[in-house]
A and B are shown apart, each in its own frame.
Chain A
Amino acid sequence: SQQGEEDPQALSIQEGENATMNCSYKTSINNLQWYRQNSGRGLVHLILIRSNEREKHSGRLRVTLDTSKKSSSLLITASRAADTASYFCATDAGGYALNFGKGTSLLVTP
């Protein structure tokens, strides 16, 4: 069953702006991961944050995790046209596989 739920479903911004997308989930997790998918391609892992971590950075990416609210956010700073993609959160709730959300579609225009 799908546990992660991203919002917004779609986001359109201009180059240079920041993009923020959110993920909410329902049960306790061990970790939460964010993936990017370019159109028609496979997913690429971006960042993993564990349940005992609150914030993590990787280049222009900043991920936060609030386990009390069962939510995470992904911030992409100074966005570029190449950041145009769909972004998925995935949770590890101790099951047999990760649970992927429905994704946020990000469009960055020049």
Chain B
Amino acid sequence: EADIYQTPRYLVIGTGKKITLECSQTMGHDKMYWYQQDPGMELHLIHYSYGVNSTEKGDLSSESTVSRIRTEHFPLTLESARPSHTSQYLCASSETLSETQYFGPGTRLLVL
């Protein structure tokens, strides 16, 4: 099992609420990633980070924002949740950009 954790695992929330999805890893990896994945579908990279104070947008445009104040922590925030944000969010980390990525268990978000 990889040492990367996500909380909450499941979240049901009403439209307009602000939410933060937590992701933390204890492997000391500089590279961290957020993916969005609908059931049975492909992964879409929405954010990534090269290290502390580095955040970049991924291939899929997202209304979410991320921060990287500490190496081990890479939270994702939605200021105002909408039903279109309903999806599974996967966090991952890696030692380098090209090597193995270690994934957390994911957060399933349902916005009503």
* Interface set of A (CB-CB < 8 Å, partner B): 1-2, 30-31, 33, 35, 40-45, 48, 86, 88, 90, 92, 94-98, 100-103, 105
Compute the total of residue contacts between A and B using a CB distance below 8 Å.
59
Judged by a CB distance under 8 angstroms, whether B84 is at the interface is no
The verdict on A98 contacting B40 (CB below 8 Å), with A40-B108, A41-B106 known, is no
Question: How many of chain B's residues have a CB under 8 angstroms from any CB in A?
Answer: 28
B9–chain A nearest beta-carbon distance, Å: 9
Chain B residue at minimum C-beta to C-beta distance from A1 = B59
From B48, B56, B90, B98, give the contact of A42 (CB < 8 A): B90
The answer on a CB contact under 8 Å between B90 and A43 is yes
In the assembled complex, the Cα of A56 lies from the Cα of B4 at a distance in Å of 27
